[in-house]
Amino acid sequence: MLATRAASFIDIFVPQNYDLSFIMTRILRVLYVSAEASPFAKSGVLADAARGLSVSLVKLGVEISLILPKYRRPEIESLSLELVVPELIVPLGRDKIKASIYKAELGDVPVFFVDNTKYFCRDEIYGASKGEYLDNDERFTFFSRAVLEFVLKTKFGLDVIHSNDWPTALVPLFLRTRYAQKGHFKDTATVFSFHDSSHQGKFPPESLALTGLNWDYFTPDQLALNGKFSFLKAGLIFSDALSAASSDWKAEILAGDPGGGLEEILNRRWNVFSTIHSGSDEKTWETAAKEYIELYAKALDIRRGGQSDR
């Protein structure tokens, strides 16, 4: 049944100029990486997008899984969680940090949780009433790297990794740098979406040390933005394809980037950028899911065809 549906949505929704022979014979496999997802953890529209899109993609025959941090929230703690990776070693700067991976289900969608008490056993996602947590750079650098270590350790078969907003924008950066020589990721495409451009993940230059990358990456044409290390910029530059939830995405990003250099990046990557509106009900989420299938196909075409604007 799934194989039939997979062939069907490719025939109907994917432009004919894409070479999609590699997925015509099997299911399209996507890992959706998010800092939040309804009903487990929510601060804004991203959480609803993670749920609505994943559920709709499954109905269209896509094999999609969610992965997010295991926060200290009743919606997560009340789940019947399966421990699937008791110990995962995650590089973070010069350190090796331990994590565990748990699994639950959201209807037909598998949901994985990255557990680390130091970083995620907190009442809020990004910060308390006094402001954002001071170690958010460390927390989400760790999470992004843990996602890739999980995929490697479990030999998780993937076609596309779809990361969202600044907390997971380092996933494509890591995939094309620290993990570029890992054969498991050779043909894995990346899609980066942003839903809230008012938060861009700007941190002190010293935060770059957490990635293990050298200072050659801290330049205006790569990760530096107005003297800060920009997580958002990493996602915009290093992903194969991009999307925004608003038609005003360019103006919104540039409003937080006075003279910082994002306009050049956005203009250069215009051909891989799509505006895909978030759904408000099952029908509109299905429409968005169809558009994301096209975007995944474009990202795969770029990655496996060797075409890139970077």
What percent of the chain stands above pLDDT 70? 88
* Torsion sign across C-alpha atoms 160, 161, 166, 169: negative
Question: What pLDDT score was predicted for residue 308?
Answer: 57
Is the pLDDT reported for residue 6 higher than 60?
A: no
Of 58, 122, 93, nearest to 209 by C-alpha is: 93
CATH fold, domain 2-305, is Rossmann fold (3.40.50)
| Mean pLDDT for the stretch of residues 19-41 | 79
Query: 57 near 203, Cβ under 8 Å?
Result: no
Question: What pLDDT score was predicted for residue 1?
Answer: 38
Distance CA 71, CA 86 (A): 17
Question: What pLDDT score was predicted for residue 251?
Answer: 75
Question: What pLDDT score was predicted for residue 283?
Answer: 86
| Mean pLDDT for the stretch of residues 86-103 | 98
Question: What Å distances lie between residue 258 and 147, 225, 226, CA to CA?
Answer: 32, 10, 9
The count of other CB atoms within 10 Å of the CB of residue 137 is: 22
Question: What pLDDT score was predicted for residue 247?
Answer: 76
Is the pLDDT reported for residue 38 higher than 80?
A: yes
| 72 phi and psi angles, rounded to 5 deg | -90, 80
Question: What pLDDT score was predicted for residue 189?
Answer: 97
User: Taking all residues of the chain, what is their mean pLDDT, rounded to a whole number?
Assistant: 88
Is the pLDDT reported for residue 44 higher than 60?
A: yes
What secondary structure does DSSP assign to 47-65, as a single string?
HHHHHHHHHHHHHTT-EEE
Question: What pLDDT score was predicted for residue 14?
Answer: 53
Q: Is the peptide bond before 39 cis (omega within 30 degrees of 0)?
A: yes
Name the residue ranges covered by the structural domains of the chain. Answer: 2-305
Question: What Å distances lie between residue 115 and 69, 70, 196, 236, CA to CA?
Answer: 6, 5, 25, 27
Question: What pLDDT score was predicted for residue 248?
Answer: 79
| Mean pLDDT for the stretch of residues 43-71 | 95
Distance CA 192, CA 165 (A): 8
Predicted TM-score (pTM) of this structure: 0.89
Distance CA 257, CA 8 (A): 42
AA letter at 7:
A
Q: How confident is the model at residue 265 (pLDDT cuts 50, 70, 90)?
A: confident
| Mean pLDDT for the stretch of residues 6-34 | 60
Is the pLDDT reported for residue 237 higher than 80?
A: yes
Q: How many residues does the chain have?
A: 310
Residue with tokens 């565990």: 100
Assigned token pair, 283: 């029908």
Residue with tokens 């209807």: 107
Q: Is 225 exposed, middle or buried (0-12, 13-18, 19+ CB in 10 A)?
A: buried
Is the pLDDT reported for residue 90 higher than 50?
A: yes
Is the pLDDT reported for residue 123 higher than 50?
A: yes
Q: Is 259 exposed, middle or buried (0-12, 13-18, 19+ CB in 10 A)?
A: exposed
Question: What pLDDT score was predicted for residue 17?
Answer: 52
Assigned token pair, 219: 């330049």
